[in-house]
Structure 1
Amino acid sequence: MPEFSPLSVAFLLFPNVTQLDLTGPAQVLSRLGNTTIHLVSRSLDPVPTDAGFSLLPTDTFAEVASADIICIPGGFGTVEVMQDAETLDWVRQVAREADWVTSVCTGSLVLGAAGLLKGYRATTHWASHEQLGFFGAIPTKQRIVLDRNRLTGGGVTSGIDFALALTSRIRGEEHAKFIQLSIEYDPHPPFDSGSPEKADPETVERYWALINKTAPGRVEKVKSIAEDLGF
C-alpha cells in the first residue's frame, strides 16, 4: 500500500437522512487511505434515518471546524436542514477551506441553500432536479457532475459512483479501481427501472403519489426557502 497524505471527510448527519446517501460513499471514501471519517451533527445523540434505524454521530459542529472533503447526503430531512441557520453556517464554514465540496442526492439542495452552488453545474435526485435552479445552480442531468471543486451525485445509489470518481481524482484511477474491486462493485440490477426514462408510466406515477403523500408541497416549500434566503 503506498504512503498517502492524511485526509479528513466530514459528512453532515441530520434527522431523516437517507442513510445510503451517506453510508455508500462513506464505505468507499474510508478506503482512500490515511483517512478519517467524521459523521457530524448538532449533538452526539443518535440520529434517526429514513430507513427506521439511527446512526451515531462521531463529532459535533463545534468539534469539526474544517475538513478536506465535506459531503452532504440527502433525504426528506433536507427541507428542515435548509431552514436551520446553525447547520447552514457550519456547512459554509467547512466548505470555505475544503478541497472538495460535495453532495449526494438532495444534499445538493443544502449546498444550494448555503450559497455554495451559485453558477455551478450540479445534479440531484431526478424528482428534485428543477429545485437546484431556485438556488442559482445550473441543473445538469447526469449521474455525477463535476464543476471545479464541486462534485455532486444524483439519487441515492449514485453515492458509490460519486465516491469512486472522487477517489480517482484524489488518489488516482488505479486506487479507485482497487476499491471498486475490494467492495465488488459490479452492479447488475434485476430490473431496468432505475430512472423515470426507463421505468414504466405506472411505476413513475406510483412514485409521485408517494411523494405527494409523504412530502406534500415540497417544491413550493423549497422555492419559498430559497426566496427567504435571498435567492
Structure 2
Amino acid sequence: MAGAQKYIIGLVFYPGMTSLDILAPQQVFSGFPDVQIHRLWKTLDPVKTDDGMMVLSDTTFGNCPRLDVICIGGGLGMAAVEDDPEILGFLRTQGSTAKFITSVCGGSILLAKAGLLEGYRAATHWALREQLAQLGVEVSTKRVEVDRNRITGGGVTAGIDFGLTIANILYGEEIAKIIQLLLEYNPAPPFDTGSPEKAGSELVNKALFFMQELSSLELAKSAG
C-alpha cells in the first residue's frame, strides 16, 4: 500500500517462551506494508522455546530502536524470567514511549509485573487469569482485549486474531482482511473444547495437571 506509515515492531524472545505466541503475530505482521520487525533478546544467542525450537533474535535490548509496538508472549518457562529485572526494565523503557503495548497469552503477566497494565483490562491464557488478577489487573476473558493502547491476546492460538486486530488498527480493515485471506485463516477445529467454559471442569482439571507437569520439567531444565 503506497504511502502507508512505517511502523517499528518489537517482539520479545526469551528462553522457555511458547514459540506460537510470537510466531503467529509475527506471521501476520510480516504482511504489513513497509514494516520493520525486531526480534529481541538480551543477546543474539539462540533462544530455546518450550517446545524445543531454537530461534534467533536479530536485535538486542541494548541496540533496540524506539518501538511503535512492543509485544511479548508467555510460555512454560515464563516463571524463570517473569521477575528478571533486565526484561522488566526493557519493557518499562519501551513502554514509556511505544504507541501500543501488547502481549499474547501469559505475556500479560510480564507487562503487569513491569507496571504497564495498571488501570487497564487485559486478556491472558485462561489458566493465568487468577494470577493476572492478583497483580491488580482487570482480567478480560475475550480472545483479544483492546483497552486504549493496550492490546492483549488470550492463550497461544489467539496470536493470529491478535495480529489481525493490530493490522486493522494500524492499516485498516481492508489490509487486515487481505492478510487473513492470504493466510487462509478460516479455523474449523475438530473439537469444541478450546476454552474452559466449553471444555468442562473434568477436562480443565486434567489440562491444569498436564500443564503443571510440563512447567515443572521446564523449570528443572532451566535450573540445570
In 1, Cα distance between equivalents of 2:77 and 2:13: 10
Cα shift readout 1:82-113 (whole Å, capped 9, x = no counterpart) = 21101111111111111100000000000000
In 2, Cα distance between equivalents of 1:50 and 1:78: 9
Unaligned segments of structure 2, at least 5 residues: 217-224
Is the CA contact 2:105–2:153 (under 8 Å) kept in the aligned structure 1?
yes
Instruction: Tell me by how many angstroms 1:175 deviates.
Output: 0.6
Instruction: Tell me by how many angstroms 1:212 deviates.
Output: 3.0
- Cross-structure match for 2:130: 130
- Cross-structure match for 1:106: 106
In 2, Cα distance between equivalents of 1:67 and 1:182: 26
Provide the TM-score with structure 1 as the length reference: 0.90
In 1, Cα distance between equivalents of 2:149 and 2:205: 36
- Cross-structure match for 1:221: none
Cα shift readout 1:193-213 (whole Å, capped 9, x = no counterpart) = 101111244432221111332
In 2, Cα distance between equivalents of 1:77 and 1:36: 28
- Cross-structure match for 2:143: 143
Is the CA contact 2:142–2:154 (under 8 Å) kept in the aligned structure 1?
yes
Instruction: Tell me by how many angstroms 1:57 deviates.
Output: 0.4
Question: 1:1-231 maps to which residues of 2 (within 5 A)?
Answer: 1-215=1-215
What SS class does the counterpart of residue 151 from structure 1 fall into? strand
Unaligned segments of structure 1, at least 5 residues: 217-231
Is the CA contact 1:129–1:139 (under 8 Å) kept in the aligned structure 2?
yes
Cα shift readout 1:160-215 (whole Å, capped 9, x = no counterpart) = 00110111011000110010001110111111110111124443222111133233
Is the CA contact 1:78–1:109 (under 8 Å) kept in the aligned structure 2?
no
List 4+ stretches of structure 1 deviating above 4 A.
none
In 1, Cα distance between equivalents of 2:195 and 2:112: 23
What SS class does the counterpart of residue 116 from structure 1 fall into? coil
When the two chains are superposed, the root-mean-square deviation of aligned CA atoms in Å is 1.2
Residue identity matched to 2:118 = K
What SS class does the counterpart of residue 204 from structure 1 fall into? helix
Residue identity matched to 1:99 = K
What SS class does the counterpart of residue 198 from structure 2 fall into? coil
Aligned residues: 216
Provide the TM-score with structure 2 as the length reference: 0.93
